[in-house]
Amino acid sequence: MKTTQILNYAAAAVLACSMTFGISTASAQAPSDPQIVGIVLAADQIDIDYGKIALAKSKNKGVREFAQRMVTDHSAVQQSVIGLAAKLGVVGADSPTSTGLKAGSVEIMAKLNALKGKEFDKFYVDNEAAYHKTVTDAVDAVLIPSAQNAELKSALQGAQPLFLKHLEHARMLQSGSGGMMNHAK
């Protein structure tokens, strides 16, 4: 499968999940707080896993710095969410979105593990840009409006600027201005 097909598949899977909740936000089927916790934990773990693969495979300084930032930041967010959930007595629950995120990540991780060199770097960065765009859109459109607990809603709002910085950093790497050379397709 071509790189663009896999990226499109991953983005479509995440977008389909977020659109499902986007439609249901208007109805009574918006994600519950336990499902929101499950979605955030799944999304963070996926990005941690992608970052660890990049740290193991990439030789590009800019890509490695970005990957380390993803591992560090998403680990911190994950621990913060776990702590908040424990404080609130909320246990993360599976949902179609968290299940879809996990399923979509399997193919992406297989592709990351199969690629090498500049092809790996390009795919990783392109995937990170698409992933963060989709996730930040879903946080704004679905997760924040659906959160019932004020502390959970506030935590999501507080984390969103960090996720947007990740998106900006990935886009800088894509453009070549963030330490990664542009690669021919």
CATH number, position 84: 1.20.1260.10
Residue 181 included in any domain: no
pLDDT band at 74 (very low <50, low <70, confident <90, very high): very high
| pLDDT tens string 9-38 | 344 344 444 434 443 434 447 999 999 999
Residue 183 included in any domain: no
Residue 161 included in any domain: yes
Residue 184 included in any domain: no
For range 95-101, the mean pLDDT: 94
| pLDDT tens string 115-166 | 999 999 999 999 999 999 999 999 999 999 999 999 999 999 999 999 999 9
Residue 144 included in any domain: yes
Q: What is the total count of domains within the chain?
A: 1
Alpha-carbon distance 120 to 127, whole Å? 10
Residue 149 included in any domain: yes
Q: Print the domain residue range for 18.
A: 3-175
